[in-house]
Amino acid sequence: MPRIQQIFKRWADGNITLAEAAQTADTSSSKQQLNFDELIESYRKFVPNACDKTWKKNYLPVLPKCRDKFKGTPPRDGETLCMACLEQWEQGSRSRQISRQKLYGFLTWAVQRGHLKPIYSPPATLPEVLKSKRVGYAISDVEILRLLEGMPDPRWQFAIQLCAVYGLRPEELRWLQIKKGAKGSELWTIYQKSMGGRKGDKTEPRRLLPLLVRDLDGSSIDWKLQARIQKGKELPPLQSYGDGAQALNNYLRRREVWRSLKAEALNSGEQLTTYSFRHRYAKASHAAGLPVANIAEAMGHTIEVHLGSYARFKPEATADLYAQVNAGTAQVN
């Protein structure tokens, strides 16, 4: 009878269905019993855009921890629950950031549907020591040529040339396609990178625009990359889908020149990664004076994302302005 009264109390105002009223009444009960395995499985259906690999890699490491925290005495509130679930990951790390995002999404979903009490809503902020973002090293053209000389496999040489000249993400190497354009054949990548969130938004396929590597005397080197793609030039094995960067890293870390360049980058406070060829494309584009909007379009991301990751490559005008002032002062004096 008390349970029926609680259901009626929630249902009587007409804002929710009888089934929802029953669910919230059960959630509010101090004797609430949850089958977390079923709850997690229900949530899996709520995020269909997450492929099985992503679900296993990003969701399953943290959601079962949430389940385990409700064994015995339940957590005091959402902040306590989240802190306990995330304690195994280093504060400020990318893995902790991803786990926090997935946990917050699950808790929000569970609370909104009455599976968990509102007290378990994720907190707006979480006490955390932020780790400084690593600075990606923009490999120079001379260093690219050094690296290519030390690579015996022409397939990997081809991959490096493509990444450097077109600013590719390593994963995009497997998604290259020739399309017919208004002025002839064009090289495109049809790879669509997830933009995050539940909506499943992804980046659009884009036409690739070359920015040629230059040799020691400043002359552009044309490796005829698009023509080689058209002829079916073989690329190296890139492991399974989504592992292109890992495959490239596994090959490069065995190269002595790469290890040497990595040490040099660390000495300057930066990190040489498989994205350093993409960083080179951004830096060279800014040095050439190309507009930010066009660089972002060529690299396949928004202006906001570009400025967040590559703003440091924008030409610094402040020093020049002060130099002009000093020059003017010198003339007056």
pLDDT given for residue 226 in this prediction: 97
pLDDT of 242 > 70? The answer is yes
Residue located via tokens 């036409």: 207
DSSP states along 261-296: HHHHHHHTT-B--TTHHHHHHHHHHHHTT--HHHHH
The whole-number average pLDDT for the span 256-267 is: 94
pLDDT of 151 > 50? The answer is yes
The whole-number average pLDDT for the span 149-172 is: 96
178 bridge partner residues: 187
pLDDT given for residue 203 in this prediction: 73
Higher-confidence residue of 279 and 6: namely: 279
pLDDT given for residue 130 in this prediction: 61
Is residue 108 within 8 Å of residue 122, measured between CB atoms?
yes
pLDDT given for residue 316 in this prediction: 61
Mean pLDDT of the chain: 86
Residue located via tokens 């190296």: 236
pLDDT of 36 > 50? The answer is yes
Q: Residue 185, by phi and psi: left (phi above 0), alpha (psi -120 to 50) or beta?
A: beta
* Burial bucket for residue 20 (CB in 10 Å: 0-12, 13-18, 19+): middle
- For the segment 85-122, what is each residue's pLDDT rounded down to a tens digit? 999 988 878 888 899 999 999 999 999 988 888 889 99
- For the segment 298-330, what is each residue's pLDDT rounded down to a tens digit? 999 889 888 888 888 876 656 666 777 777 654
d(CA 209, CA 299): 9
Hey, what are 312's tokens?
């440091």
Is residue 119 within 8 Å of residue 250, measured between CB atoms?
no
| Backbone CA torsion sign across 264, 267, 273, 279 | negative
pTM of the model: 0.65
The whole-number average pLDDT for the span 285-295 is: 92
pLDDT given for residue 332 in this prediction: 40
pLDDT given for residue 196 in this prediction: 47
Higher-confidence residue of 241 and 78: namely: 78
d(CA 76, CA 62): 19
